[in-house]
């Protein structure tokens, strides 16, 4: 049986993986591996190690060419335009959702429909709930050129979204446009605007005309008569935002900016859903252990939502995945909680602190509640 061999094709700023029959393997291969293969002109071959785990190995491009792969036209976007075909595409799109993304069928179809119709989409929900993953899954499903911008990490909004003026001894002063300017001129592109709620207000001001359905342009300079860049046909913007009082580093979103989006709210997973996700991601970890992780996380979230709750925040799905990863790497549940969970909770208040409460909760799943010796004498003495 021949191993699968894929070619890496760049689309926008994404490196997609295709086999000889035109099947897409992008989501199964890490971005670093795909990018490295593309930059070195190599193909990737799927192999199995002695433990039965699959991995991708760089091989000469001739290995891929030997499979007589068809020419892949990445310039076209296979999204229907006829209304009946669009309806069929939207309502049969749930099978395009990756198994690792836990999202209701209704919300996934609404997400796909909004993208197909060229809407601006704002993904909201608590940190670590899968907003960015859902956005990137949408890109993979539509197979459109995509561009990614993390606005929360942007130091200079104008340089990131518009460009910079540079000086060269030979050329003199010249303007260098940003990648964002090139992105909005790419027909049918999906542009991801991550951490929009953490962006500087200057970034919001620049995006106002870009996102407005009646304008859809970017002005390179505020002076009268300066060049404006029109947003290309079919471009869709997908943004993510953490909205709420618990996110102290976020800014209050401008109402006029939010009105330019349709909102898709990501649901917080319940214990059963989270357990299923962890089982899917870490099939070699004992299921009962992963169930404990899911239940601990769910209980912290419930406690944080309760009016008389002892916690100000709950454990995110992102943290649950990190704990499961530590279990897979041979750490115990107590060790995983020590380094990933406890630092998230304050120890102010001694035995009445949030950290103490979470330690007690975790301890129940380590000893089944049979041990009352939860803390050593030094901890008790310090808290008193």
What is the predicted pLDDT for the residue at 168?
67
Residue 56 C-alpha from the chain's centroid: 22
Per-residue tokens: 299: 């209980």
Mean pLDDT of the chain: 81
Q: Considering only CA atoms, which of 283, 317, 301 is closest in space to residue 358?
A: 301
Q: Read off φ and ψ for residue 329, nearest 5 degrees.
A: -90, 15
Q: Is the pLDDT of residue 226 over 80?
A: no
What is the predicted pLDDT for the residue at 280?
87
What is the predicted pLDDT for the residue at 370?
44
Q: Is the pLDDT of residue 383 over 60?
A: no
Question: Among 22-26, 38-42, 201-205, 335-339, where is mean pLDDT lowest?
Answer: 22-26
What is the predicted pLDDT for the residue at 255?
81
Q: Is the pLDDT of residue 215 over 60?
A: yes
Higher pLDDT, 79 or 34: 34
What is the predicted pLDDT for the residue at 248?
39
**Rounded average pLDDT over 333-353:** 91
DSSP track, 222-284: SSTT--EEEPPTT-EEEEEE--STT-TTS-PPPHHHHTTSEEEEPPPP-HHHHHHHHHHH-TT
Q: Is the pLDDT of residue 72 over 60?
A: no
pLDDT in tens, 248-295: 344 567 788 888 998 988 888 889 988 988 988 898 999 999 999 999
């Amino acid at each position: 049986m021949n191993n699968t061999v894929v070619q890496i094709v760049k689309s926008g700023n994404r490196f997609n993986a295709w086999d000889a029959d035109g099947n897409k393997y992008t989501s199964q291969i890490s971005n670093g591996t795909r990018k490295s293969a593309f930059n070195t002109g190599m193909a990737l071959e799927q192999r199995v190690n002695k433990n039965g785990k699959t991995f991708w190995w760089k091989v000469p491009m001739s290995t891929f060419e030997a499979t007589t792969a068809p020419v892949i036209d990445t310039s076209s976007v296979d999204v229907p335009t006829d209304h009946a075909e669009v309806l069929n595409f939207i309502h049969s799109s749930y099978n395009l959702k990756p198994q690792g993304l836990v999202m209701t069928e209704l919300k996934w179809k609404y997400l796909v429909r909004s993208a197909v119709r060229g809407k601006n989409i704002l993904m909201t929900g608590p940190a670590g709930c899968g907003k960015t993953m859902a956005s990137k899954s949408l890109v993979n499903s539509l197979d459109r050129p995509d561009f990614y911008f993390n606005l929360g990490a942007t130091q200079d909004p104008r340089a990131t979204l518009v460009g910079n003026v540079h000086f060269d001894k030979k050329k003199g002063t010249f303007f260098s446009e940003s990648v964002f300017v090139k992105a909005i001129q790419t027909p049918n592109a999906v542009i991801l605007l991550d951490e929009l709620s953490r962006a500087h207000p200057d970034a919001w001001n620049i995006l106002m005309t870009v996102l407005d359905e009646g304008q859809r342009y970017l002005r390179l300079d505020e002076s009268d008569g300066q060049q404006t860049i029109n947003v290309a046909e079919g471009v869709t913007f997908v943004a993510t935002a953490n909205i709420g009082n618990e996110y102290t580093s976020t800014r209050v979103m401008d109402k006029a900016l939010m009105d330019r989006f349709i909102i898709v709210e990501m649901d917080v997973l319940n214990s059963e859903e989270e357990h299923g996700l962890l089982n899917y991601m870490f099939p070699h970890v004992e299921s009962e252990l992963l169930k404990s992780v899911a239940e601990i996380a769910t209980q912290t979230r419930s406690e944080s939502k309760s009016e008389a709750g002892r916690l100000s925040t709950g454990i995110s799905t992102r943290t649950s995945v990190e704990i499961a990863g530590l279990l897979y790497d041979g750490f115990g549940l107590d060790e995983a909680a020590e380094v990933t969970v406890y630092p998230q909770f304050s120890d102010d208040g001694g035995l009445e602190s949030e950290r103490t409460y979470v330690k007690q909760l975790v301890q129940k799943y380590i000893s089944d509640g049979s041990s009352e010796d939860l803390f050593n004498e030094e901890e008790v003495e310090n808290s008193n």
